[in-house]
């Protein structure tokens, strides 16, 4: 299934929260949605989940328009908001069971679906606990279970990792990777960009309601990385190595980082080969030379200005 | 041959097995059963019942040894306690819960499931009714106890409880509507206090009327059973059903997304309901030979038109794609559909037509009355006051509504359309207020009741209430207002010409191609690179 966001625009009075936003992704992919606070991420996601209506534009799931036919689209979409809504006197099992009923699941089918998502999200052990007694991480799992109970093909997650401890974050990430492998299209917004780089097939970068860039991660990196960063470990005098590096062509900003040196090489990868040759020619005993990968955080910092509306 | 029958039977059985109760009903009841306030109120009510019964028997016996008729007093005390608990607690509990689900911009996620708005509201109503039944069933043993103590009969108990129960259902449904309405929370609380209090006091008054002096027993056994009891009960049941239906439709409309055609079911329902209410009042007027029964028709329909116009112009007036997809392609079907679909102009005209329909119904009834009834319908001189006076309010509201729309669309098009409703109110109040203030500043006197002030709707009320007027003077005053309001409407229509045109031209079926424009590539990309939107990886 292909999810196509077309020229989306959302105005709130005189404020344009989302301005001509277009991108697309497909089943089996995890797409990150990156932008500063107030960039229009939540608004876009709410429109994609049929919770809000755009002033103009459309979201299509293959040929199905979310704007024109939200009832049918809702069968295909699972939405995980940034926080669990107020169901303070409901148990985990009742909560998930309610949504299974709400999505039209009946009898054994419903019971199987509820048990299955509880096991998948590891919430079976807390099924009789009331929601108000849960930690943030557990609430996020319950929220994910709720979204998954109708077995949607598209999962939209708004800041699901916010407030989670490192273990919960890693577990959530593993769940998402597993879901993508099952063929679900996952669209996730997060402030923890390093994590997104690891699991995302692509990303959409937004600021002030406008798309700054979008596409597969490697394409984004290729487009945006003007300089490549390299790490070097050598059995040499660090001061001498730094001096030599500073004198070399194409090399920029050499600095010592722990046991290694890091520096940027302008231009194509051939220049890096040339730099390595020069280092060896100058008698440095190189034991490691590698390219350090740029991530979404680098791209994000590179192209956004941190402006909000 | 038997095989298909068996399959059908099995299929039905399977369907029966697959039947599931409304999810919202299940959720709300599960939540209520875990909520301490529900359990606490119920237990408190039972304790009070117990104390009342015990106290009445102990102290009543001592003070009333001879008469031994404690039934009515115990019934009254228990009934009052039940009403106090159920009338106040259940609507507040249900209203607050519903409000909590809708209070934030991130409305509860049940509203984005595949459940229809109708199903959600049905679930809410069902769970509320179940709670009311729970409270009343707790009171039943004590009410039976009051019957055993004599002085009150079973029909009275049955009818009083039914009456109380139905009013309770309406109150709770009203609380749901109020919780879902797009009003500010403070306004909701104020409305709940005023409407709730008057509804509760009316309910209590009606119940006391039924219970007092054995009225039910007399109605059931006397000659008025067919002529009075049955029509009154039938009228009450019809009105209860109509009001319950109205609150249901209003609640559904409030949770239906604005992009959907939420006006259609509500407007159709109100049109049918208005017809039934008008017919009901006219039948009562005819058979009771009491023309005064027509007055509530004019008052209620006039209020409906005025309030409706106030709310209509505060909504969005562009048609969403979803609405336009439902517009009939056939022109003959499209014309009547216009009045029932979303849209500000369509709403204003629909309300105007409802008012015209009301006037024609009353006028037609008037003619029939003059022909077949011996008694006069109304004094000939008061006819302009009846028809024209009431119409002037509706026409002025229509004119002000159009002017409000024009002010909003011309000067504050980016602001919320609710401003148009505010302008309507200001147009009613401000010119009159300024006139009074300036006149007082310059003359130190108040304006006279018999002043003719064209364009000011408040002056219509002054003319109708002026006791110094003879009929001719009053009629002349009203006709001047008719001229001025028609002029105002003409001016407002001319000012709104472009808006009127857009409202009519936008009412055409949707074609998908209109929206489909290829997305632009993002800026700053090298020309040989694919734009992200068609980045196939």
Q: What is the pLDDT of residue B3?
A: 42
* pLDDT of residue B179 exceeding 50: yes
Chain A CA closest to residue B414: A13
Q: Which residue has the higher pLDDT, A2 or A223?
A: A2
The Cα B77–Cα B530 span in angstroms is 80
What average pLDDT does the structure give for chain A?
Answer: 85
The helix (run of H) or strand (run of E) holding residue B22 is none
The first and second tokens of residue B396, run together, are 């002025």
* pLDDT of residue B180 exceeding 70: yes
Q: What is the pLDDT of residue B2?
A: 38
| Rounded mean pLDDT, A23-29 | 90
Chain B CA closest to residue A101: B23
Instruction: Give A89's contacts (C-beta < 8 A, 6+ positions apart).
Output: A130, A132, B31, B34, B35
pTM: 0.80
The Cα B25–Cα B124 span in angstroms is 6
Chain B CA closest to residue A223: B525
Query: What are the pLDDT digits (tens) for A271-297?
Result: 889 999 999 999 899 999 988 766 666
Which residues 386-445 of B have a C-beta within 8 angstroms of A? 414-416
Enumerate the H helices of chain A as residue ranges. Answer: 41-48, 70-73, 92-102, 107-120, 136-148, 166-181, 193-199, 217-224, 238-247, 269-281, 296-303
Q: What is the pLDDT of residue A121?
A: 86
Please count the CA atoms within 13 angstroms of the CA of B440 that sit on its side-chain side: 7
User: Is there a contact between B31 and A89 if contact means CB atoms under 8 Å apart?
Assistant: yes
* pLDDT of residue B104 exceeding 70: no
* Residue showing tokens 């009929």: B471
Least confident of B63-77, B401-415, B417-431: B63-77
Query: In the structure, what pLDDT confidence band is assigned to residue B493 with cuts at 50, 70 and 90?
Result: very high
Interface test with A, best of B36, B104, B108, B109 (most A CBs within 10 A): B109
Q: What is the pLDDT of residue A226?
A: 61
The Cα B79–Cα B75 span in angstroms is 6
The Cα B100–Cα B98 span in angstroms is 5
* Residue showing tokens 């604005």: B258
User: Is there a contact between A85 and B115 if contact means CB atoms under 8 Å apart?
Assistant: no
Query: What are the pLDDT digits (tens) for A59-94?
Result: 999 889 888 888 888 889 998 887 776 577 789 999
Which SS3 state, helix, strand or coil, does residue B471 take?
helix
The Cα B148–Cα A225 span in angstroms is 91
Residues A22 and A5 sit within 8 Å (Cβ to Cβ): yes
Query: What are the pLDDT digits (tens) for B78-99?
Result: 888 888 888 899 999 999 988 8
The Cα A235–Cα A284 span in angstroms is 7
Answer whether B321 touches A (CB < 8 Å): yes
Query: In the structure, what pLDDT confidence band is assigned to residue A216 with cuts at 50, 70 and 90?
Result: confident
Interface test with B, best of A68, A69, A88, A102 (most B CBs within 10 A): A102
Which residues 112-131 of B have a C-beta within 8 angstroms of A? 112-116
Least confident of A160-174, B168-182, B302-316, B512-526: B512-526
Instruction: Give B512's contacts (C-beta < 8 A, 6+ positions apart).
Output: none
| Rounded mean pLDDT, A235-253 | 87
Residues A235 and A285 sit within 8 Å (Cβ to Cβ): yes
Query: What are the pLDDT digits (tens) for B366-376?
Result: 889 888 887 77
Q: Cβ of A278: how many Cβ atoms within 10 Å?
A: 17
DSSP-derived pairing of the beta strands A251-257 and A2-12: unpaired
Chain A CA closest to residue B117: A71
Query: In the structure, what pLDDT confidence band is assigned to residue A103 with cuts at 50, 70 and 90?
Result: confident
User: Is there a contact between B109 and A219 if contact means CB atoms under 8 Å apart?
Assistant: no
Answer whether B110 touches A (CB < 8 Å): yes
Answer whether B23 touches A (CB < 8 Å): yes
Residues A210 and A16 sit within 8 Å (Cβ to Cβ): no
Q: What is the pLDDT of residue B522?
A: 39
Nearest one of B117, B514, B508, B510 to B337, comparing CA atoms: B508
List of E strands, A144-257: 154-158, 185-189, 202-207, 210-216, 227-234, 251-257
Query: In the structure, what pLDDT confidence band is assigned to residue B110 with cuts at 50, 70 and 90?
Result: low
The first and second tokens of residue A184, run together, are 């679900």
| Rounded mean pLDDT, B339-348 | 92
Residues in chain A with CB shorter than 8 Å from the CB of B34 are: 89-90, 130
Answer whether B513 touches A (CB < 8 Å): no
* pLDDT of residue B67 exceeding 60: no
What average pLDDT does the structure give for chain B?
Answer: 83
Pick from A24, A101, A201: CB nearest B533 = A24
The Cα B340–Cα B270 span in angstroms is 11
The Cα B486–Cα B391 span in angstroms is 12
The Cα A49–Cα B145 span in angstroms is 56
- Chain B nearest-CA distance from A192, in A, is 22
Q: What is the pLDDT of residue A295?
A: 67
The Cα A18–Cα A41 span in angstroms is 8
User: Is there a contact between B114 and A53 if contact means CB atoms under 8 Å apart?
Assistant: no
Q: What is the pLDDT of residue B63?
A: 54
Query: In the structure, what pLDDT confidence band is assigned to residue B526 with cuts at 50, 70 and 90?
Result: very low
Residues A31 and A202 sit within 8 Å (Cβ to Cβ): yes
User: Is there a contact between A214 and B31 if contact means CB atoms under 8 Å apart?
Assistant: no
Query: In the structure, what pLDDT confidence band is assigned to residue B107 with cuts at 50, 70 and 90?
Result: low
User: Is there a contact between B18 and A106 if contact means CB atoms under 8 Å apart?
Assistant: yes
- Chain A nearest-CA distance from B108, in A, is 6
User: Is there a contact between A23 and B515 if contact means CB atoms under 8 Å apart?
Assistant: no
User: Is there a contact between A99 and B110 if contact means CB atoms under 8 Å apart?
Assistant: yes
Nearest one of B173, B211, B169 to B192, comparing CA atoms: B173
Chain A CA closest to residue B510: A68
| Rg of the Cα atoms in chain A | 23
Answer whether B473 touches A (CB < 8 Å): no
* pLDDT of residue B469 exceeding 90: no
Q: What is the pLDDT of residue B10?
A: 63
The Cα B185–Cα B34 span in angstroms is 26
């Amino acid at each position: 299934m292909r999810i196509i966001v077309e020229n989306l625009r959302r105005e709130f009075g005189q404020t344009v929260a989302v301005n001509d936003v277009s991108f697309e992704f497909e089943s089996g992919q995890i797409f990150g949605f990156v932008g500063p606070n107030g960039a229009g991420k939540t608004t876009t996601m709410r429109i994609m989940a049929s919770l809000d209506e755009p002033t103009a534009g459309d979201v299509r799931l293959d040929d199905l328009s979310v704007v024109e036919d939200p009832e049918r689209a809702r069968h295909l979409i699972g939405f995980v908001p940034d926080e669990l809504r107020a169901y303070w006197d409901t148990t985990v099992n009742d909560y998930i069971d309610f949504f299974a009923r709400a999505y039209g699941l009946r009898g054994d089918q419903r019971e199987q679906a509820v048990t299955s998502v509880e096991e998948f999200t590891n919430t079976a052990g807390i099924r009789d606990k009331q929601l108000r007694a849960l930690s943030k991480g557990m609430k996020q799992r319950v929220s994910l279970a709720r979204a998954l109970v109708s077995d949607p093909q598209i999962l939209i997650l708004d800041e699901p990792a916010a407030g989670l401890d490192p273990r919960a974050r890693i577990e959530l990430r593993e769940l998402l990777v597993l879901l993508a492998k099952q063929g679900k299209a996952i669209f996730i917004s997060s402030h923890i960009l390093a994590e997104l780089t690891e699991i995302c097939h692509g990303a959409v970068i937004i600021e002030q309601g406008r798309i700054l860039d979008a596409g597969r991660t490697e394409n984004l990196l290729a487009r945006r990385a003007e300089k490549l960063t390299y790490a070097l470990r050598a059995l040499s005098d660090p001061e001498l190595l730094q001096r030599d590096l500073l004198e070399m062509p194409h090399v920029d900003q050499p600095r010592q980082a722990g046991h290694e040196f890091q520096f940027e090489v302008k231009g194509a990868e051939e220049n890096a080969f040339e730099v390595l040759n020069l280092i060896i020619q100058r008698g440095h005993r190189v034991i490691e030379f590698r390219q350090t990968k740029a991530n979404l955080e680098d791209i994000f910092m590179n192209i956004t200005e941190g402006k909000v509306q | 041959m038997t095989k298909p029958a068996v399959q059908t039977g099995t299929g039905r059985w399977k369907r029966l097995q697959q039947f599931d109760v409304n999810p919202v009903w299940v959720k709300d009841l599960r939540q209520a059963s875990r909520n301490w306030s529900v359990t606490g109120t119920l237990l408190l009510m039972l304790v009070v019942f117990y104390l009342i019964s015990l106290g009445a028997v102990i102290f009543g016996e001592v003070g009333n040894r001879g008469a031994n008729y404690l039934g009515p007093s115990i019934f009254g005390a228990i009934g009052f306690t039940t009403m106090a608990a159920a009338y106040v607690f259940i609507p507040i509990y249900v209203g607050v819960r519903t409000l909590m689900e809708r209070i934030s911009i991130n409305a509860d996620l049940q509203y984005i499931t595949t459940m229809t708005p109708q199903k959600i509201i049905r679930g809410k109503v069902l769970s509320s009714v179940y709670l009311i039944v729970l409270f009343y069933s707790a009171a039943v043993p004590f009410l039976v106890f009051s019957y055993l103590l004599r002085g009150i009969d079973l029909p009275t108990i049955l009818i009083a409880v039914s009456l109380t129960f139905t009013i309770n259902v309406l109150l709770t449904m009203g609380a749901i509507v109020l919780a879902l309405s797009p009003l500010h929370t403070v306004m909701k609380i104020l409305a709940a206090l005023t409407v709730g209090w008057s509804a509760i006091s009316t309910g209590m008054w009606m119940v006391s009327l039924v219970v007092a002096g054995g009225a039910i027993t007399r109605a059931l056994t006397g000659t008025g059973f067919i002529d009075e009891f049955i029509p009154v009960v039938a009228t009450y049941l019809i009105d209860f059903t109509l009001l319950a239906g109205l609150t249901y439709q209003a609640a559904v409309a409030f949770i239906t997304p604005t992009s959907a055609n939420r006006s259609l079911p509500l407007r159709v329902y109100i049109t049918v309901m208005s017809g039934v209410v008008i017919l009901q009042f006219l039948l009562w007027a005819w058979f009771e030979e009491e023309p005064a029964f027509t007055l509530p028709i004019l008052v209620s329909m006039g209020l409906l038109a005025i309030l409706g116009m106030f709310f209509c112009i505060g909504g969005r007036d562009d048609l969403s794609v979803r609405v336009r997809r439902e517009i009939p392609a056939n022109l003959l079907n499209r014309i009547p559909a216009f009045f029932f679909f979303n849209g500000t102009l369509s709403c204003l005209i629909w309300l105007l037509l409802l008012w015209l329909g009301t006037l024609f119904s009353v006028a037609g009834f008037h003619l029939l009355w003059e022909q077949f009834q011996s008694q006069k319908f109304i004094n000939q001189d008061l006819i302009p006051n009846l028809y024209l006076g009431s119409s002037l309010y509706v026409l002025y509201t229509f004119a002000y509504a159009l002017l409000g729309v024009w002010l909003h669309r011309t000067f504050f098009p980016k602001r919320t359309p609710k401003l148009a409703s505010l302008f309507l109110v200001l147009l009613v109040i401000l010119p009159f207020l300024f006139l009074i203030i300036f006149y007082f500043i310059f003359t130190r006197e108040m304006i006279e009741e018999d002043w003719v002030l064209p364009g000011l709707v408040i002056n219509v009320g002054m003319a109708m209430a002026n006791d110094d007027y003879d009929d001719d003077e009053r009629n002349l005053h009203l006709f001047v207002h008719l001229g001025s309001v028609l002029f105002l409407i003409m001016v407002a229509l001319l000012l709104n010409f472009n808006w009127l045109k857009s409202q009519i031209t936008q009412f055409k079926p949707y074609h998908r191609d209109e929206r489909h424009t290829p997305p632009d590539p993002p800026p700053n990309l090298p020309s040989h690179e694919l734009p992200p939107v068609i980045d196939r990886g």
